[in-house]
Every structure is written in C-alpha cells, then in structure tokens.
Amino acid sequence: MASVPRNQILRAATYVQKGGVGKTTTTAHVGVAAARDHDLDVVLVDLAGTQNDLSTHFGIGEDIEDLDAPISAVFGDDWEFIRDNIDDIVDRMVFETDEGVDIIPADPGLGGADNNLANIPVEERFDKLDAFIEDDLADRYDLVLLDLPGAENNIALNGLFAAGNVIAPLKPGAFESEQLDNLQADLDRIRDEHPVDPQLAMVIPTMIDLRTNLAEQFVTELAEEHPETSAPAHVADSQAVSNWQERGRTLFGVPDDELSNTGTRVLESYRENTSELIPRLS
Amino acid sequence: MSQEEAEKLLQNTKEQTRTNTEPTTSDDPSSLEDAIKDAYVAIDEGDANTNITVRDTNLAALFGGLEGADELERVARDAEKALGRDAENVSQSRTLGLLARIGLQEISPETLEVAAEARDEYIVNSQDDF
C-alpha cells in the first residue's frame, strides 16, 4: 500500500505529441490500479480537448453532458472570485465513477481558456492548474493524473507545470522509431522556452503485438537504451480495451470470466507499471 | 449577490470557445504605453520630431481662412474650454493640437489615459538619471 502524507498529492500527466497512442487508456488504467492496488484516493482530470474521452471510458459520458462547473473556469481571471463565492464549487466539478476513481471532465470552454491564457504575462500563465491542485485537490486526494492534449498549448503547459512527472505511452509503427528521442527533445525545448520543468517518469510501450518484429524490436530497444524510464511491462495490443471502453469500463471493471487472455495480460501490465510508477512520483 | 455573480461567471466560462475568444496582440494597453514612452525617449534624444504633419488641402484652407478672418482665437478658446485648459497664446499649431485631443477624447478616451500614464512614467524614470 502506498502512503501519501496528508495534504501532499502525487502528480503525473500523460503527455506525448501524438494521437492514438493510448494516453486516455493509460490515464484510466493507471488511475484505477492506483486506487485498487494501492488504496489511494485518485482523481483524473481530463484536459485532452473537448471530446470527453475519459468520461466515456468510465461510462459517465451522459452524466456530464451539461456541466455545472467546468474545469476551464480554473484558467480564467475570475477563478478566485468564483472559488471564494461558491462554497461547493469543487464538489460540483467532480464526478464519481464505479471503478474507485473520481473524474473532473473536460469541457467546451477549454479552447477559449487556452486562447485567453495567451493574454496573461508568461510568468503567471502556467501556474493556474498547479494552484488549483494545491489549493483544492491536495486535501481530498492522494494522486492526481492529468490527461493532457497532444499539442503544446497553454493548457498542456499548465498541466506539465502542475504535474512535473510525465507518463508517455508510445506504440511501435512506421514513423515511431525516433519518437522517444522526439519526446525528450520536446520536453527539453519546453524546459528551455517556458518556466516549466517536466520530467519523464515512465515510458510505456503500448499496443504491442510481439508476433511482429517491429514491436519486439521496439520493446527491446526501449528497455536497453532507456532502462531508467522504461516501464517494466509492455501493454499488449488487445481488442478488449476498445471493446470495453465502448461499454464504459476499464478492464478493471470487467468480471474475470468475461476478460480475454490478452485483456488479462493488459490488466496485469498496467498493475505492474503502476506499482513501479508510484514511488517515482514522490 | 456575489454568489449570483460568481455563478454567472462560471456559466460564461463553458461558453467561451477558441473561435469566440482571441488573444490580444500589440494593441493592448501595456504595449501602447511602452511605445509612447519609447517615443518620448526618441524625441528627447533628437531621434524623433516634435512636429506632427497633416497634409490636408481642405484643412489647410480652413485654418488659413480662420486666421485671415480673425476667427482662429474663437476656435482656440472654445477648444481650451472643452478641455478645461487655461487660455494661452493662439496659433494654428496649438489650436490643431487642442482639437486633436478633443477628437481623441471623443472617440478613444482610453488612449489618452494610456498616453498620460506613459508620460508620467517617462518623467519619473527620467528623474532617476544622474
């Protein structure tokens, strides 16, 4: 069991400037693993656009259709006034799931919030989310996972500043051979150009079919060349993930007798990776 | 009342989109103020003129006629009164300056406020020079 001192919250963000690699799937499964296996109070914050994939993953897509208290408010000039004058504002932002984690969903205002952040002096632009986590989430939760947009915008930079730790799912493919180098170059450049300091906590090979040479090579090279950040377990390519996603569940929410062999392997990978990840976040 | 206002601000947040918001660029007040301060410095150092040129045949004829008909003083005094300024020597140049200020006050009062702030800050910074 992990132990987190009161009012200190572990933080990480899934971030890589590429779509379809499993950022949302990773956020969801690491979050549930942390809650179930390590008894942590976990909140997932969806900042990855306005499609609300994370909420859909947990089957609460319909519950959040007309949001009462959008997360985008945190990034605006009026946030302190709103927070000081609405007592239960954070309660209204948070949605419970039946898999042991809470979610703060994305909302349509994130696009406008990203634009408005550009009007703020750079020295104040990237700490909005950090302040929200520190002031409003740290006393409620042990772990916050941020699902970030796959683009380097002001929302993503807020997320990187707030989280500090980056989880990067990467999958093998024709154009992916340099992607880890590209990711590290992206993080280096972000550090150089902005007052944020993201550190790569874990790279997780995803959608791995070891029957292909490309995948096998990818996993091997990652482990050999980046042992300090490579996840202990790759995540297999399994149709089970998307099948159950459509039904509003992570694989943790599937009864054992209904889970396929590959689905079971995916589950075990996420559990092993989460156990390795949590100490790295302290 | 504060809670009601906070609720309204909260609901407005989720309606902002990338297409109905826009980052401000170089016409925000802080960059205009800086530009005016830079202009004061340039004038002080002789790199910029204290004259403003207006090439306008009709205005040239009008002001020539006002002077010829001894009506320029009337216009100047009316302009001084509108701006709350003391009466001073009358000239075409000074009268045009007064009228330009009245025009700015009418259509863009915030511009004059920024200009006044820039001037004040420029003066304070100048006095720091040894």
| CB half-sphere exposure, A73, CA atoms < 13 A | 28
Interface probe, candidates A116, A117, A155, chain B, greatest B C-beta count within 10 A: A116
Residues in Cβ contact with B118 at an 8 Å cutoff, skipping those fewer than 6 apart: B32, B33, B34, B36, B37, B40
Residues A173-212, buried b or exposed e (16+ Cβ, 10 A)? eeeeeebbebbeebbeebeeebebebebbbbbbbbbeeee
Residues in Cβ contact with A87 at an 8 Å cutoff, skipping those fewer than 6 apart: none
Question: Where does the pLDDT of residue A186 fall: very low under 50, low under 70, confident under 90, or very high at 90 and above?
Answer: confident
Assess whether pLDDT exceeds 80 at residue B126.
Answer: no
**DSSP assigned state of A253:** G
pLDDT at residue B23 in the model: 60
pLDDT at residue A6 in the model: 59
Assess whether pLDDT exceeds 70 at residue B19.
Answer: no
- The answer to whether A86 contacts B13, with C-beta atoms less than 8 Å apart, is no
Helix axes A154-163, A110-117, angle to 10 degrees: 90
For A224-239, write each residue's pLDDT tens digit.
888 999 999 999 999 9
Question: Where does the pLDDT of residue B27 fall: very low under 50, low under 70, confident under 90, or very high at 90 and above?
Answer: very low
pLDDT at residue B24 in the model: 54
Question: Where does the pLDDT of residue A175 fall: very low under 50, low under 70, confident under 90, or very high at 90 and above?
Answer: low
Separation between Cα atoms, residue B36 and residue B30, nearest integer Å: 10
Interface probe, candidates B14, B26, B27, chain A, greatest A C-beta count within 10 A: B14
From chain B, pick out residues whose CB is under 8 angstroms from the CB of A72. 13-14, 16
